[in-house]
Amino acid sequence: MNTAEMTAKIAEGNGFIAALDQSGGSTPKALKGYGVEEHEYSGDDEMFAKIHEMRCRIVTSPSFNGDKVVGAILFEKTMNGCTDDGTPVPTQLANRGIVPFLKVDAGMHDTENGVQLMKDMPRLEEMCARGKELGVFGTKMRSVIHEANAQGIAANVKQQMDFGLRILDNGLMPILEPEASLASDSRAEAEALLLTNMLEQLDRLGDDQRVMLKLTIPAEANLYQPLVDHPKVLRVVALSGGYSREDACRELAKNSGMIASFSRALLEELRAQMDDQQFDDALSSAIDTIHAASVAG
């Protein structure tokens, strides 16, 4: 797929984006959920090798194809890795009709003013260049909103767009992900502030520029419809945010135009101990369920 084909696939495709970008902090938990205990690996290199095996097993499974999965977000080590036949993972995805994205953020600062801002990304241009070389279409970066603090939310959304504009300058499509925490006591108010600030930040984009948004499924159904309909937003996707797959799919289906970009909700029934048929059956079931919720609206 070329860039125009990838853009059309994301904008118009009836499916969802798989989030396969667990990073250092979340990798042990992801592996444990997959049935790999911490005593089965030693150090970061072995840990990332284990999670890479899991990701490669997913992207090479028969059910993981462009019919229902329109995109996949990769961790950098996965992007730079290869599947068993030596094919780079972004190429493997594109050959299956799946648009590849790259997680580019370098983690977050501690909470201040009710939010966690992203750390600086000194390697951003380097990562974008490597991603383009391997056929990656876009990027993703995450920050978190913990409470309805107007100053904090404004800073959070502005920072997302600041980096988004840099990514656009490097020729990739940014996914901005200011996650509103499901645990927040002021989540609904925080999401309303997030909407207002995002609409303001979208005005910074040029006439020929668009971004994608990855947002928590809102407490108020269809709150983000102005973003879904916005001419400078290619697609709005939803994170599962700690919901179970059943709960995430139920809540997502209430929101018109949003599609899933789930991680834990996609992987929750996959186990390392499964044989290939069991693994693909479990993955296929998850894909079918998440796809149905993504096209329900």
Residues taking part in catalysis: 177, 214
**The residue count for the chain:** 297
| CA count, 13 A, side-chain hemisphere, 289 | 20
10 Å Cβ neighbour count for 151?
Answer: 11
**What whole-number distance in Å separates Cα of residue 218 and Cα of residue 283?**
26
114, 153 Cβ separation under 8 angstroms: yes
Structure-token match 């970009």, residue found: 261
198, 228 Cβ separation under 8 angstroms: no
The alpha carbon of residue 31 and the mean position of all alpha carbons in its chain are separated, in whole angstroms, by 18
- Continuous segment of H or E residues that includes residue 165: helix 150-169
- Continuous segment of H or E residues that includes residue 214: strand 211-216
**What whole-number distance in Å separates Cα of residue 180 and Cα of residue 186?**
10
What 3-state class would DSSP assign to 212? strand
**What whole-number distance in Å separates Cα of residue 266 and Cα of residue 263?**
5
